[in-house]
Amino acid sequence: MEITTNLTGERIKKYLSQGKRFDGRKENEFREIKIEKDISKNAEGSVRVNIGKTEVLVGVKLGIGEPYPDSPEKGNLMTTAELLPLSSPRFESGPPKFPAIELARVIDRGIRESKYIDFDKLCIKKGEKVWTVFVDIYTINDDGNLFDAAGIGAITALKNAKMPKYDEETGKILFGEWTDEKVPLSDGTPISITAHKIGDRFIIDPTREEEDVSEVRITAGISNGIISSMQKGNSESLSMEDMDKILDLLEKTERELFKKLEKFLK
Amino acid sequence: MSKEFKRQDGRKPNEMRRPISAKVGVVPNADGSAMYCSGKTIAIAAVYGPKKMHPQHSQNPEKGTLRCTYNMLSFSVADRIRPGPNRRSTEISKITEWALEPVVMLDKYPNRVVDVYIHMIQADAGTRCAGINAAAMALAHAGIPMKNIVSSIAAGKLDKTVVLDLDKYEDSEFKEGEGSTDIPMTFTPDGKLTHIQVDGHISKEQLKEAMNMAREACKEIYEVQKQALKEIKE
């Protein structure tokens, strides 16, 4: 299970060329998505996301920090991701390596660029004190498509996150006590969707094996058809026609996925 | 000893937090995995191996190595902790290895390693014990040769009263009288101690009392672990 053999890879491609996948899904079909809220009570918001056998935990914590000099009236966002060795024989302990850094940054940009969080409302004192929103992603089982699982986890965890109480006199957060307020968010929810090119076919939500033979990966943060972030991965090139197909696929998938997620985003 | 000592959450001195629950097979990729919940503390553990030990200079040609990694998720506690290892987690990782090694039989796996990854999803004191309980089940689930599993719980002392299974408040905020003493312990089912730590101050007599209390409690935990292992469906 550690590596996907060439033989398996060729079989995946051969099947796909006939529009078929090993698990019988259509090219643009997600595996079953399960979302469980409030999985960790000390977090301001937390969720468990399962996409098929892939599982991630996402937690939101709030902290107090200094604003950046170029945005003295805006709160901060910090996204981290850890590919826990617990979740796959491929992941090792140690400082984050590129895949974890990339995952965190792609999710970070999806949230940031879409202006999902209303940072203007997270200012406590101009130029001195602002809220920092921490979005922490942990993988529990990697069976492909961690990007979308993490993206879905991030938006649902944020949507469910409550603001902790803040003591103005001491300038400290009263952890464990929450206000009725939610973390301020905008309406446009950025949904992370990743498309892969395998042979001359395009699929979404790859399993681990499919991801291994993917030639190109495109992750986009989309909200109501508006793309706010995008990242291409892997070293193959894409023709313009390919790109058109991917954009169509992403747009169509976003609508379907949003319907599935709607009840968790209220 | 004062009989009327009241614990904040209304428990009797020898009463552990409830519910306690266990589940095996929570990480499909792993060779073995388990979850253990006690009160508000939730731990998961996954086992990979035996596999070749890297780096090579860490290999032991005599027998296999048990390598545990304990970690708290950043959002598992009220005040977010920085992700990654720290001195506390490094120590607990080693303690966990010592607690488990007496029952794990790795003589037939020279130069190999069994990795146990333990993560706290939600923390409310007693995390190392919950981690050890989950790890023991995960090792059994992975089919690692073992003499038996181990069970772990903390006993302690609040002011003058010996109590079982301190919660977060009792562990870190209780200040009355003699204050709070925390004694995490791990036992084999035949009552042998594989791990003990003491934090606080306690007499020899009361320590013995605490040990007996924990040993009794471990019998119940053992049944929960065993039941979870019987319920594996794959």
Domain A6-264 has CATH 3.40.50.300: no
Residues of A in contact with B123 (CB under 8 A): 42
The domain containing residue B175 runs over which residues? 20-229
User: Residues A72-85: pLDDT tens digits?
Assistant: 999 999 999 999 99
In angstroms, the CA B167 to CA B71 distance is 19
Is residue B8 a part of any domain in this protein? no
Is residue B148 a part of any domain in this protein? yes
Distance from CA of B40 to the nearest CA of A (A): 8
End-to-end CA distance of chain A: 39
Residues of A in contact with B119 (CB under 8 A): 84, 86, 138
Provide the 8-state DSSP code for A205. Answer: S
**Percent of the residues in chain A that have a pLDDT greater than 90, as a whole number:** 70
Is residue B10 a part of any domain in this protein? no
Report pLDDT for B1. 47
Q: How many other CB atoms are there within 10 angstroms of residue A196's CB atom?
A: 25
Of A39, A86, A95, the CB nearest to B46: A86
User: Residues B61-102: pLDDT tens digits?
Assistant: 999 999 999 999 999 999 999 998 888 898 899 999 999 999
User: Residues A125-138: pLDDT tens digits?
Assistant: 999 999 999 999 99
B6: Cβ contacts below 8 Å, ≥ 6 apart? none
Distance from CA of B76 to the nearest CA of A (A): 6
Residue A237 sits at φ, ψ, to 5 deg, of: -95, 165
Is residue B15 a part of any domain in this protein? no
pLDDT tops 60 at residue B2: no
Q: Which of the residues A86, A143, A146, A167 would you substitute to probe the B interface, choosing the one with the greatest number of B C-beta atoms within 10 Å? A: A86
B160: Cβ contacts below 8 Å, ≥ 6 apart? B1, B2, B5, B177, B178
B123: nearest CA in chain A? A42
pLDDT tops 90 at residue A231: no
Question: Could you tell me how many residues make up chain B?
Answer: 234
Is residue B11 a part of any domain in this protein? no
Q: Tell me what the pLDDT averaged over chain B comes to.
A: 93
A54: nearest CA in chain B? B28
Interface of B with A (CB under 8 A): 26-30, 33, 40, 42, 44-46, 48, 51, 69, 71, 73-80, 83-84, 115, 117, 119, 121-124
Contact B30 A86 (CB under 8 A): yes
Distance from CA of A41 to the nearest CA of B (A): 7
Degrees, nearest 5: CA angle A120-A121-A124: 100
Q: Which string of DSSP letters, residue by residue, matches B11-57?
A: --TT---S-EEEEE---TTSSEEEEEEETTEEEEEEEEEEEE-SSGG
A95: nearest CA in chain B? B84
Is residue B234 a part of any domain in this protein? no
Report pLDDT for A98. 86
A20: tokens are 């078929």
Domains: count for chain B: 1
Contact A41 B122 (CB under 8 A): yes
The CATH number given to whatever domain includes residue B29 is 3.30.230.70
Contact B29 A143 (CB under 8 A): yes
Answer whether A161's CB lies under 8 Å from A45's CB.
yes
